[in-house]
Amino acid sequence: MNYYFITGSSKGLGKALVDLLLKNESNFIYGLSRTRSVKHERFVHAAIDLSKLDEVLSFQFPTLADVDKIVLINNAGVVGDVKRVGDIENQQIIDCYNLNLIAPTILMNNFVAKYKSLDCTKMIINISSGAGRNPIDGWNVYCSTKAGLDMFSQVLNEEINIDNTSFKVLSLAPGIIDTDMQSQIREAKSSDFSTLEKFIKFKEQGDLIDPNVTATQILRFVNEKELQGKVLCSVRELG
Ligand SMILES: NC(=O)c1ccc[n+]([C@@H]2O[C@H](COP(=O)([O-])OP(=O)(O)OC[C@H]3O[C@@H](n4cnc5c(N)ncnc54)[C@H](OP(=O)(O)O)[C@@H]3O)[C@@H](O)[C@H]2O)c1
């Protein structure tokens, strides 16, 4: 069996990944999110608020048998308070760092500890963003969480190479996707976010990608060795 652990499995990109993976009878999925939207015999839901670190710390990866592949997809994320530094609510800073960066880091740490001795394909896919590689005003916290995820992935890759632990780690920018996150971005004030108009136009012009299309692209990175050459990658490489 192939086992997938997917955070943010209830909607948007995470839900599209779950729906696509469930089409293959060899896939079993653990979804981690606050709400549940999938019911399936090969889907187990863990109700967890990933911005609350005590809940993250209490999540235990299960002992698995008969494993061909295990994949952790750190997908849950929020853009957070789109505001200038000085105007951001401090609790929003804490919640956004917890959800976007600290929770994935703890999950990676526990995933590697639990499964390092398993003899199977072992992968971590961190859903990053172009915003972690290019600064966007008003998105200070979001950009820095994604940059942190990119760097953590690169350092983990160094360790994997040195220690020969046979994990594969990618930090993958998924492009612009037509999800609730984009609706939230469009609700920001232009005084807090100078490129608001550009994001409104993405929606109006039909530039936002259907999450099912993006999920298919992400699974190509999971399954095609030729796409796994660099830790920092983007669906835009697929052309
Ligand atoms: N949309 C884009 O254009 C875009 C672009 C670049 C990168 N990304 C990245 O892609 C990933 C998915 O984003 P999306 O657009 O699919 O967002 P979305 O539609 O808003 O979905 C976010 C998912 O994260 C979960 N989540 C949010 N807060 C949570 C919490 N505190 N605890 C547990 N789960 C939580 C939500 O589930 P519950 O509400 O049920 O908890 C939901 O399943 C994110 O990492 C995002 O940064 C998106």
pLDDT in tens, the chain (239 residues): 999 999 999 999 999 999 999 999 999 999 999 999 999 999 999 999 999 999 999 999 999 999 999 999 999 999 999 999 999 999 999 999 999 999 999 999 999 999 999 999 999 999 999 999 999 999 999 999 999 999 999 999 999 999 999 999 999 999 999 999 999 999 999 999 999 999 999 999 999 999 999 999 999 999 999 999 999 999 999 97
Atom 42 (ligand 1): residue with closest C-alpha? 8
Give the per-residue pLDDT at 192. 97
pTM for this entry: 0.98
Q: Which of 175, 145, 150, 136 is nearest to 78 (CA)?
A: 145
Q: Check: CB of residue 173 under 8 Å from CB of residue 236.
A: yes
pLDDT tens by residue, 162-216 = 999 999 999 999 999 999 999 999 999 999 999 999 999 999 999 999 999 999 9
**If DSSP states are collapsed to H, E and C, what string results for the chain?**
CEEEEEECCCCHHHHHHHHHHCCCCCEEEEEEECCCCCCCCCEEEEECCCCCHHHHHHCCCCCCCCCCEEEEEECCCCCCCCCCCCCCCHHHHHHHHHHHHHHHHHHHHHHHHHHCCCCCEEEEEEECCHHHCCCCCCCHHHHHHHHHHHHHHHHHHHHHHHHCCCEEEEEEECCCECCHHHHHHHCCCCCCCCCHHHHHHHHHCCCCECHHHHHHHHHHHHHCHHHCCCCEEEHHHHC
CB contact at 8 A, 228 and 168: yes
Domain ranges of the chain: 2-178+210-238
> Ligand 1 centroid to 62 CA: how many Å?
24
Rounded CA separation 171/33 (Å): 20
Instruction: Assign domain 2-178+210-238 to a CATH class.
Output: alpha beta
Can 3 be counted among the known catalytic residues?
no
Name the token pair of 175. 């492009």
User: Can you give the pLDDT at residue 239?
Assistant: 78
Cβ < 6 A, ligand 1 pocket: 8-14, 33-35, 49-51, 75-78, 99, 127, 129, 174, 176-177, 179-182
